């Protein structure tokens, strides 16, 4: 209600779909952006209603998609939002509202990991952990699109069956649900002992069996396993923000000439790059992702179910991407 007049580089947007993702309250506290109430829903797709006098990318009636910045006052879960034009890109005509909102975040994450951080190219071997997740599914499709050989892990029988149905098919699906499969051995066997060129993890175990939660112990590989299965000149892209590497770990990576990169979902919001970097990055990633790939989406939900759904997501209990359709 009572949105400010649209001016300068701001766009007024009628929201058609909004994807729900976990709110990283810890990160917001670290950035001194903690509030009593957080806006919910940052991945949005909709129609431009009005543009400010300095807007150069859009005009009224354009169909767009984007990610609201961390410090946005407006939640995506409302009928109309006001957002800076550099956080939006044009939505391809053939992509639905729910697909657009549901793809944008994980599409940019996958593109960042495989294109910017690990320089994916044809013929490379890639291990994507938890491939049946929303991020994993798009990362697998992007890797296949670039001509890579893809290995993935599955944390349940349902996930294993989902991954085995993919076309083109994966080189190998490693079922880690029973805790018996050895990820490093399977990857070395699949690559003739050379190791994989790129690893995109979904978290790793840092400590011994006695110090890790049971669930994490069962599904995630130890950091030593990742280092073992990584090939010479390999790239390890990790989502583990508190990764600890001891001197022997670093020495092993040094001998292999390998690199470790951190996949921070909010890096484009937190860095000192000019806003145009955000826009161009979104544009490149989203256009490529949206034309070729399909996200792992649940059925769209109405607005009145958003509260319950968000509680599930915040507890990290959801698997597929949930999108609220207006």
pTM for the model = 0.85
| C-alpha torsion sign, points 207, 212, 215, 216 | negative
Output the six-digit token pair for 130.
């938890």
Phi first, then psi, for residue 249 (nearest 5°) are -65, -50
Please state which CATH number belongs to domain 10-102+271-325: 3.90.180.10
Output the six-digit token pair for 45.
């797709």
Render pLDDT for 266-325 as a digit per residue (tens, 0 to 9). Answer: 766 655 444 444 554 555 556 555 556 666 777 888 888 888 888 888 877 667 788 888
Residue the block writes with tokens 């597929």: 320
Q: Are 116 and 187 in contact (CB under 8 A)?
A: no
SS (H, E, C) 72-122: CCCCCCCCEEEEEHHHEEECCCCCCHHHHHHHHHHHHHHHHHHHHHCCCCC
Please state which CATH number belongs to domain 118-262: 3.40.50.720
Q: What are the domain boundaries of the chain?
A: 10-102+271-325, 118-262
223 pLDDT higher than 80: yes
* Residue 210 confidence (pLDDT): 59
Output the six-digit token pair for 180.
């018996």
70 pLDDT higher than 50: yes
| Cβ neighbours around 299 below 10 Å, total | 9
Q: How far apart are CA 82 and CA 3, in angstroms?
A: 7
* Residue 317 confidence (pLDDT): 65
Q: Are 220 and 204 in contact (CB under 8 A)?
A: yes
Q: From the centroid of its chain, how far is CA 175?
A: 22
Residue the block writes with tokens 């890797």: 143
Find the distance separating the first CA and the last CA of the chain, reported in whole Å. Answer: 17
Q: How far apart are CA 167 and CA 156, in angstroms?
A: 20
Task: Name the pairing type of β-strands 43-51 and 230-238.
Answer: unpaired
Instruction: State the DSSP H helix or E strand holding residue 140, giving kind and residue range, or none if neither.
Output: helix 134-145
Q: How confident is the model at residue 113 (pLDDT cuts 50, 70, 90)?
A: very high
248 pLDDT higher than 70: yes
Question: In 3-state terms, what secondary structure has residue 231?
Answer: strand
Question: In 3-state terms, what secondary structure has residue 271?
Answer: coil
Render pLDDT for 166-221 as a digit per residue (tens, 0 to 9). Answer: 888 999 999 988 877 789 999 999 999 999 999 999 888 887 665 555 555 567 88
| pLDDT averaged over every residue in the chain | 84
Q: Are 245 and 223 in contact (CB under 8 A)?
A: yes
Render pLDDT for 153-181 as a digit per residue (tens, 0 to 9). Answer: 998 899 999 999 988 899 999 998 887 77
Q: Are 14 and 49 in contact (CB under 8 A)?
A: yes
Q: DSSP assignment of 8-55, as one string?
A: TTEEEEEEEEEEE----HHHHHHTT---SS-----EEEEEEEEE-TT-
Q: Are 212 and 190 in contact (CB under 8 A)?
A: no
């Amino acid at each position: 209600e009572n949105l400010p007049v649209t001016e300068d580089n701001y766009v007024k947007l009628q929201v058609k779909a909004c994807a729900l993702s976990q709110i990283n309250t810890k990160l917001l506290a670290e950035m001194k952006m903690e509030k009593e109430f957080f806006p919910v829903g940052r991945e949005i797709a909709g129609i431009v209603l009005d543009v400010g006098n300095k807007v150069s990318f859009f005009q009224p009636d354009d169909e767009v998609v984007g990610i609201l910045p961390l410090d946005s006052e407006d939640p995506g879960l409302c009928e109309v939002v006001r957002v800076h034009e550099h956080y939006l890109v044009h939505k391809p005509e053939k992509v639905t509202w729910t697909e657009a909102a549901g793809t944008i975040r994980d599409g940019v994450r996958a593109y960042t990991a495989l294109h910017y951080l690990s320089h994916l190219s044809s013929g490379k071997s890639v291990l994507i952990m938890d491939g049946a997740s929303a991020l994993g599914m798009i990362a697998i499709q992007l890797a296949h699109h670039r001509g890579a050989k893809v290995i993935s892990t599955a944390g349940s029988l349902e996930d294993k069956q989902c991954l085995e149905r993919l076309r083109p098919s994966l080189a190998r699906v490693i079922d880690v649900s029973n805790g018996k499969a050895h990820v490093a051995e399977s990857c070395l066997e699949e690559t003739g002992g050379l190791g994989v060129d790129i690893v995109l993890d979904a978290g790793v175990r840092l400590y011994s069996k006695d110090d890790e939660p049971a669930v994490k112990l069962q599904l995630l590989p130890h950091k030593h396993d990742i280092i073992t299965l990584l090939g010479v000149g390999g790239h390890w892209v990790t989502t583990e923000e508190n990764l600890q590497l001891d001197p022997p770990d670093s020495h092993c990576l040094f001998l292999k000439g390998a690199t470790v990169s951190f996949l921070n979902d909010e890096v484009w919001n937190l860095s000192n790059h000019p806003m145009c970097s955000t826009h161009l990055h979104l544009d490149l990633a989203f256009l490529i992702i949206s034309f070729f790939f399909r996200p792992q989406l649940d059925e769209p939900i109405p607005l009145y179910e958003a509260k319950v759904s968000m509680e599930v997501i915040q507890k990290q209990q959801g698997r597929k991407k949930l999108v609220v359709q207006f």
